[in-house]
Chains A and B, each alone.
Chain A
Amino acid sequence: MSQRKTSRNGSHATPGWVPGWALGPILFALAVWLHASGLLTPIPHAATPPFDHAALSTAPRRQILGDPPTLKINDFDRTCMDCHKIFKTPTDKPRPLNQHKNIHMDHGPNVKCSTCHDWDDRNRLVRPDGVSIPFTKVVDQCGQCHVRIRYDWGYGIHGRTNGYWDPKSGPQERRICTECHDPHNPKSPAMDPISPLPGPHTLRLTNPHGEHDQ
């Protein structure tokens, strides 16, 4: 509207402190200032700090044992019985172990190895009712005591289900007990604490004194 207004103003010079001829130059000055001023408000940035994207893996937290459980020793796959056939365990009493030193045993009343491990076939587990089962069926083992959780797990209420919610569209991966929990030391909380990923860094976050939080 500016050019409209000024186009006629000139024709009616009147005394006063804005003579008509000044309008043009004032608007020119404005044009120059607008051209030079640019963006008057700096654009704030709010980016998430870098973090290790490996944390976004969907893999289970623990490695589980197969049937029979195998372990690479000197590039050869060994099963439990490869050793236990030769080296007999002296006694079933709870005691500091010479082998398997990484195991920290703290599982309530279960203090003996033979409570869960098949004494005769170390490639297998043994249920409290005496039935020998493979490691892959550990759910039946745990479920003997943790009955309610076993039911929930059966319905999919407890535990992780990955892959497809619709079994007709693709495979469902049900995580079993030992893929999350350490059977020798099922602490509370039931898994090891982990580092959280960065919190929100939205625009214009300030603390009560108006300073930017970082």
Chain B
Amino acid sequence: MSSSEPKLDRRSFFRASLGAVGGLAALAAALEPLKDFDRSDLTLDQFLQKHYKEMSAEDMQKVLDRIEKEVEKRYDVRPEIKDVKPRDGVEFVYALNLGACIGCRRCVHACVAENNQSRDPEIQYIRVLEMPRGSIDIEEGNHHYERPKVPSPDHFYMPIQCQQCENPPCVKVCPVEATWQEPDGLTVIDYDWCIGCRYCEAACPYWARRFNFTEPSIPKDDLNPNMSYLSNRPRKQGVMEKCHFCLHRTREGRMPACLEVCPVGARKFGNIRDPESEVSKILKNKHVFVLKQEVGTHPRFFYYFDEDYGPAIHGEGR
């Protein structure tokens, strides 16, 4: 309070400048990490890209061309990215025979390979739970079982992935409509629209959604070049992803990767609107159930027990 003259003298001007420059330097130093920012991620084209549903066919073609180039630059592989549309009269349903599943986790890793998930940090869409016989409560499941051989006679195995709910809580909560349900029942994500708030991840009762906490890493040789916009094209840091029933395969009539690799035929997939399809027959003939029916999500993923004679029947002595 000693010197309160309103005009700046030379000394106080010097002090003020020193403070200002020091402040600017500190600000610059605080922002310095941003110079390592991946600028390929911040192009004007990407900034102006429209929401999936608002893109015309030409818009989409341009975007696909651009993404193909980006992927090629990064992975040295020229991918073929398509925008596969849903088919009329098709609604996909999955059925899984818990009596047959042996918990070998081949579906988990086939999915990773097919859908270009990050290897480090690890992202997997399917979790296989080892459940003690005598309980169907998934809280009892062991996610981290390691044994030389499966199945263990005292357990059964329950793979869980996106249930493609008819009433999906994740779609409800997304503030920017970056995730929605398609006419064939698949809940998809526009990876270029997601803002990464992770509200959907909190909303999902099946813990099916995964977040890219950092830039995903995929070995160049392992990249699956057969891609589509809404499914397995490489994701970016900071967006959500999840199982989409391999829509780039299934919308072309093929089976999803997790099913193809299943060594015991526990996985069944098809069109529920076709009464002759395998899944229709299962729903008609077997006693199926869905996970967490009480949360009202109406999953399109059904579980059933069939044809498993446990150790009590086929014991060692027989």
| A–B contact, 8 Å CB criterion (strictly below) | yes
1/0 per residue B109-144: CB within 8 Å of A?
Answer: 110110000011110100100000000000000011
Say whether, besides A6-B16, A47-B122, A200 and B144 are in contact (CB < 8 Å): yes
B113 touches A196 (CB 8 A): no
Closest to A56 in B: B110
Say whether, besides A157-B281, A158-B306, A200 and B250 are in contact (CB < 8 Å): no
1/0 per residue B276-295: CB within 8 Å of A?
Answer: 01100110011000000000
B263 touches A194 (CB 8 A): yes
1/0 per residue A173-192: CB within 8 Å of B?
Answer: 00100001000000111010
Within 8 A of A (CB), among B253-285: 253-255, 259-265, 268-271, 277-278, 281-282, 285
Interchain pairs with CB closer than 8 A, number: 245
Say whether, besides A25-B18, A27-B22, A165-B250, A13 and B3 are in contact (CB < 8 Å): yes
Total residues of chain B contacting the partner, CB 8 A: 83
CB of A163 closer than 8 Å to a CB of B: yes
1/0 per residue A42-61: CB within 8 Å of B?
Answer: 01111110010101111001
B146 touches A199 (CB 8 A): yes
Closest to B8 in A: A11
A13 touches B15 (CB 8 A): yes
Closest to B222 in A: A53
In the bound complex, residues from chain B placing their C-beta under 8 Å from that of A110 are: none
CB of A31 closer than 8 Å to a CB of B: yes
Say whether, besides A11-B16, A158-B306, A46 and B263 are in contact (CB < 8 Å): no
Closest to A45 in B: B120
State A199–B204 Cα separation when bound (angstroms): 22
| Closest beta carbon of chain B to A8's beta carbon, Å | 6
In the bound complex, residues from chain B placing their C-beta under 8 Å from that of A14 are: 1-2
In the bound complex, residues from chain A placing their C-beta under 8 Å from that of B308 are: 189
In the bound complex, residues from chain A placing their C-beta under 8 Å from that of B310 are: 188
9-residue interface stretch from A15-23, A117-125, A135-143: A15-23
Say whether, besides A13-B15, A47-B122, A155 and B146 are in contact (CB < 8 Å): no
State A11–B7 Cα separation when bound (angstroms): 8
Within 8 A of A (CB), among B6-41: 8, 12-30, 32-33
In the bound complex, residues from chain B placing their C-beta under 8 Å from that of A193 are: 102, 149-151
B285 touches A164 (CB 8 A): no
A51 touches B109 (CB 8 A): yes
A11 touches B109 (CB 8 A): no
Say whether, besides A56-B261, A165-B271, A201-B122, A158 and B307 are in contact (CB < 8 Å): yes
State A197–B110 Cα separation when bound (angstroms): 11
| 29 residue pairs from A and B, CB less than 8 Å apart | A6-B19, A8-B16, A11-B16, A13-B2, A13-B15, A15-B2, A20-B15, A26-B22, A27-B19, A31-B28, A31-B29, A34-B32, A55-B106, A55-B109, A58-B260, A152-B285, A155-B285, A156-B268, A157-B278, A164-B254, A165-B278, A180-B263, A189-B151, A193-B102, A195-B104, A195-B149, A196-B104, A196-B147, A199-B144
User: Could you tell me which A residues sit within 8 Å of B by CB distance?
Assistant: 2-15, 20-21, 23-28, 30-35, 39, 43-48, 51, 53, 55-58, 61, 149, 152, 155-166, 168-170, 175, 180, 187-189, 191, 193-203, 205, 213
User: Could you tell me which B residues sit within 8 Å of A by CB distance?
Assistant: 1-4, 8, 12-30, 32-33, 102-106, 108-110, 112-113, 119-122, 124, 127, 143-151, 213-214, 250, 252-255, 259-265, 268-271, 277-278, 281-282, 285-286, 306-311, 313-314
